[in-house]
Structure 1
């Protein structure tokens, strides 16, 4: 008598034994001599199951531990049109893919809608502890009857809905991999790293949703999101949502000049750096070039002088006195409105904080102090905040209308994140947000800003996929369903109902 194949989960992989008939499933499998059985990476679970079902191969699925949930939200809100469109595009793509929306456009609520449409045990992965607690507060409020847990920051819960940091989820990926049918990757541009990608690779979750404002990475690994989560299924820019879900906004670029003394010191530092780069045949036009510069600077005294000169030039461009004079004028123009000031280095943050008597937040600011500063800013006790990179991502920043970037940033992601800090409509329906970008003329800072703006203008967002009926067994309603094995019929169904 032929034994029925059994599918089990083992530390991020699937074991299918005894081997079933047919060859189609072998595309996913690798023979393991140690156990004399076939192994399949966990990420191929959905494709493997669909293949076995399509060929009417009988098997017992003991791999999955996820289950249906009764997700009834305590409060229902009318979603914005872009949230409805994004949800529909994701569902039509088989509930796999990345949604690109600007900061403050309601990505968390979109995730809640995806959970309601796919009511199964869910893992939500976030990059920071601040986001961990923000997501926990919103999901617990949305589904008060469901056990919501945390993984990270000292918490190690086992719950139907689990919110974890990327670090903690990666550490425990082999244990979490078969418990959740839906995985939501917040700020999913963090995922394609050697350490974090194992979260997606070890998971058998058939449904995956990635959320980000800017998926592109300078190292090019954002291309791996197609495999780890799915392709981009929906995309909107701040300009697309201006005046609708987001406040209307305008960006004003202000250029300042170096003083004669600053110009002399800057040019001398740049020449020292460039002479070394030319001698070593290194170009700083790419991430690899910068890495080569760092490596070369550690090998000789000349290299160290070049790196010090590079830093000196950058500090002059970032902290020129001309920028502080412009900052004075902008504060005088907009005070007492709420104003956020961003810089690219902590030294400038502390200089502004001391000279203008403005509270500062950097990565060195203790958590309790940071929360107290943000609370006072929210309540209006503080009118202005200055920060470096801490408020770019993962912090619930109170409503403000004015943002000032005291340097040209080459990162499209950072630029969009900082713009997003003033795009919330707040309590003012006709709010006009203003982003000032203050850059130093005729410096590398100006050229960096031009490259970033050029990349944004050339970007051609992909169109949402056409709505087509999916021919997927156990994932949608096909026109004609092949015969389902008895073993599969007796197990808990894990496909969501089409709406």
Structure 2
């Protein structure tokens, strides 16, 4: 022992080395770069207290660091990883098909985008670096833009730290699966489903499909498809793990020659090129990334008559205005088809509702469309909208800021329309194409004790509504407007009475589903042109309305909505330049706190920084 009662330095280092080795063993067994004390205890077969003592000792010696995170109490990691923070590091977990990258180069991110999905990011750290989490899904391999398996594997090997036979074997299996079934048109005009082998036709296709989809066998590997069953066949086999290649000779419609007046960005050109090669796909990018422009460019490249499907009349009119303003198409070539107007022209913009009605769908189905474009395509899996996906065309394109759905039916979007094509949000933020919004969740007290007592005695939906419409939010909205007097602001509400109360108290216009269409267009036009600085909007403003110049978004209610709703509302502030602010107001101590976390989680995963602030009762 030393005079101070401690261990000799050499023995102390030996103990620390043994403990650090045990910690690395726990990391390896857990298969993660960070672990909790509970995971260390389980992997080392120690008690929770012993694991915490070990981690505390390693932390004191500087060998291990820790950080508080939202999903676990504390996670621990080797400090040497932090010391390498300015250098690219790629960590592969082959069993989970997950890749963690710190400080990736532009080359690495470009390669990963071709065969992996960006799932999460740490956001910007104090030293300016970022960490990224990618996963390799089966869909990523199915739709990867490579003609040969060897080229795909070469791209994978170029960014991973080591070869992984396990991962490469799985990639080869998925690559093969994506080439086992094909739909093609017989010379007599009917559709044929062909399998790569007799075994696949018998044990997969005929087991999963019935006489409603397959009319009769033609050979051991071919079957006659019932007319109109193509979409269902693709969906069923996709869910079984076999995406179908659609090589049918569909009517391309009459040619339509026009040009786009706008210059495409590099990533938009890449989107369009990939779509033209595949003839199907979904452009996925944040609001403000120019999906509409890329969609118009894709239409020009396809060069056929086009049906554009949208969720609202406002968006139909907006599409017509954009086409006339930014292409060589004239008014005789562009028509709208909805409850207020019914014009079928070489380019027709219709609402999903109209296209799903039998008496109208037959009209659209009888025309040879060279292309169908589905705007806000995340609606497609819904029962009513899904009927519109039965419309057939040679080329099918979807547009969406995020395919995330509350019912977890995202894959149906890619089955019915096409695979995702896009650039990760974080990359667009870094390039300066889209302003990264600053999101702050503000937890508010009750306006008074009476309001809190009424909420405490309520149940179910009424309880949530009372928290969502807490009168204290009106004063917070007033304060935020005073703090940002020059910003053009959108105030989002889900409850009509709350919208009217805010409008009456603050003297602002409120746009809801009850607002006449001509009045909506006038108010939105004034906002876009800068003649009006603030609007209160209900769900009619969540998507499809072109409000690109909003600088401030205040979410007063709607926290029970989906993650996609959170992205849409934050997206109303995403612009190429300038600041972008989003404030989410939630009543402290209620279910709104959990809803706020859920609704902003998707933004955080996309690299958007989300912070939280608790507002005190006497905070002025």
Instruction: Work out whether the TM-score is over 0.5.
Output: yes
Q: State the partner residue of 1:170.
A: 356
Residues of 2 paired with 1:405 and 1:95: CA distance?
38
**Displacement, 1:218?**
1.5
Matches within 5 A, 1:290-305: none
Residues of 2 paired with 1:248 and 1:181: CA distance?
36
Describe the superposition over 1:143-165 as per-residue Cα deviations: whole angstroms up to 9, x where unpaired. 32572222223433332222111
Matches within 5 A, 1:57-68: 64=251, 66-68=253-255
Segments of 5+ residues of structure 2 without an aligned counterpart are: 1-185, 192-215, 235-243, 608-620
Q: State the partner residue of 1:6.
A: 188
Which of 321, 344, 354 is equivalent to 1:137?
A: 321
Q: State the partner residue of 1:423.
A: 574
Name whichever of 236-245 and 378-387 sits farther off: 236-245
Describe the superposition over 1:286-309 as per-residue Cα deviations: whole angstroms up to 9, x where unpaired. xxxxxxxxxxxxxxxxxxxxxxx3
Describe the superposition over 1:155-188 as per-residue Cα deviations: whole angstroms up to 9, x where unpaired. 3333222211111222233342351121110000
Q: State the partner residue of 1:198.
A: 387
* Structure 1 residues 458 and 375: alpha-carbon distance in aligned structure 2, compared to 1, 3 A threshold: closer
Aligned-partner SS, 2:263: coil
* Structure 1 residues 319 and 79: alpha-carbon distance in aligned structure 2, compared to 1, 3 A threshold: same
Which of 343, 346, 350 is equivalent to 1:160?
A: 346
Residues of 1 paired with 2:395 and 2:267: CA distance?
21
Highest RCO, 1 vs 2 (Cα 8 Å, sep ≥ 6): 1
Query: Are 1:71 and 1:119, in contact at CA under 8 Å, matched by a contact in 2?
Result: yes
**Displacement, 1:443?**
0.5
Query: Are 1:374 and 1:398, in contact at CA under 8 Å, matched by a contact in 2?
Result: no
Describe the superposition over 1:400-436 as per-residue Cα deviations: whole angstroms up to 9, x where unpaired. 21111123454221111111212234xxx4x111111
* Structure 1 residues 81 and 402: alpha-carbon distance in aligned structure 2, compared to 1, 3 A threshold: same
- Please tell me whether residue 364 in structure 1 is matched to residue 552 in structure 2: no
**Displacement, 1:357?**
0.9
Q: State the partner residue of 2:256.
A: 69
Q: State the partner residue of 2:175.
A: none
Aligned-partner SS, 2:570: helix
Query: Are 2:253 and 2:368, in contact at CA under 8 Å, matched by a contact in 1?
Result: yes
- Aligned-CA RMSD value: 3.1
- Please tell me whether residue 444 in structure 1 is matched to residue 591 in structure 2: yes
Q: What count of residue pairs does the alignment treat as equivalent? A: 383
Q: State the partner residue of 2:269.
A: 84
Residues of 1 paired with 2:584 and 2:460: CA distance?
22
Query: Are 2:567 and 2:600, in contact at CA under 8 Å, matched by a contact in 1?
Result: no
Q: State the partner residue of 2:418.
A: 230
Query: Are 1:242 and 1:249, in contact at CA under 8 Å, matched by a contact in 2?
Result: no
Residues of 2 paired with 1:175 and 1:67: CA distance?
16
Query: Are 2:336 and 2:342, in contact at CA under 8 Å, matched by a contact in 1?
Result: yes
Q: State the partner residue of 2:369.
A: 180
Q: State the partner residue of 2:562.
A: 411
TM-score w.r.t. the length of structure 2 is 0.56
Q: State the partner residue of 2:499.
A: 349
Aligned-partner SS, 1:266: helix
Residues of 2 paired with 1:459 and 1:402: CA distance?
19
* Structure 1 residues 343 and 435: alpha-carbon distance in aligned structure 2, compared to 1, 3 A threshold: same
Q: State the partner residue of 2:440.
A: 252
Q: State the partner residue of 1:34.
A: none
* Structure 1 residues 257 and 130: alpha-carbon distance in aligned structure 2, compared to 1, 3 A threshold: same
Which of 260, 271, 284 is equivalent to 1:100?
A: 284
Residues of 2 paired with 1:148 and 1:24: CA distance?
44
* Structure 1 residues 157 and 386: alpha-carbon distance in aligned structure 2, compared to 1, 3 A threshold: closer
Residues of 2 paired with 1:390 and 1:112: CA distance?
24
Query: Are 1:102 and 1:238, in contact at CA under 8 Å, matched by a contact in 2?
Result: no
Q: State the partner residue of 1:400.
A: 550
**Displacement, 1:97?**
1.5
* Structure 1 residues 367 and 174: alpha-carbon distance in aligned structure 2, compared to 1, 3 A threshold: closer
Q: State the partner residue of 1:433.
A: 580
**Displacement, 1:41?**
2.9
Query: Are 2:272 and 2:297, in contact at CA under 8 Å, matched by a contact in 1?
Result: yes
Q: State the partner residue of 1:29.
A: 225
Query: Are 1:45 and 1:204, in contact at CA under 8 Å, matched by a contact in 2?
Result: no
Describe the superposition over 1:48-77 as per-residue Cα deviations: whole angstroms up to 9, x where unpaired. 9848xxxxxxxxx7x73613322233x2x2
Q: State the partner residue of 2:113.
A: none
Query: Are 2:563 and 2:601, in contact at CA under 8 Å, matched by a contact in 1?
Result: no
Describe the superposition over 1:371-418 as per-residue Cα deviations: whole angstroms up to 9, x where unpaired. 232333344443221122121122222622111112345422111111
* Structure 1 residues 119 and 362: alpha-carbon distance in aligned structure 2, compared to 1, 3 A threshold: same
* Structure 1 residues 20 and 162: alpha-carbon distance in aligned structure 2, compared to 1, 3 A threshold: farther
**Displacement, 1:117?**
1.9
Which of 387, 391, 397 is equivalent to 1:209?
A: 397
Aligned-partner SS, 1:227: helix
Q: State the partner residue of 1:124.
A: 308
Aligned-partner SS, 1:396: coil
Describe the superposition over 1:247-284 as per-residue Cα deviations: whole angstroms up to 9, x where unpaired. 34311222111243333332222xxxxxxxxxxxxxxx
Q: State the partner residue of 2:532.
A: 382
Residues of 2 paired with 1:352 and 1:238: CA distance?
35
Aligned-partner SS, 2:437: strand
Aligned-partner SS, 2:188: strand
Query: Are 2:424 and 2:606, in contact at CA under 8 Å, matched by a contact in 1?
Result: no
Q: State the partner residue of 1:319.
A: 469
Describe the superposition over 1:183-210 as per-residue Cα deviations: whole angstroms up to 9, x where unpaired. 1100001111223222222x33121111
TM-score w.r.t. the length of structure 1 is 0.69
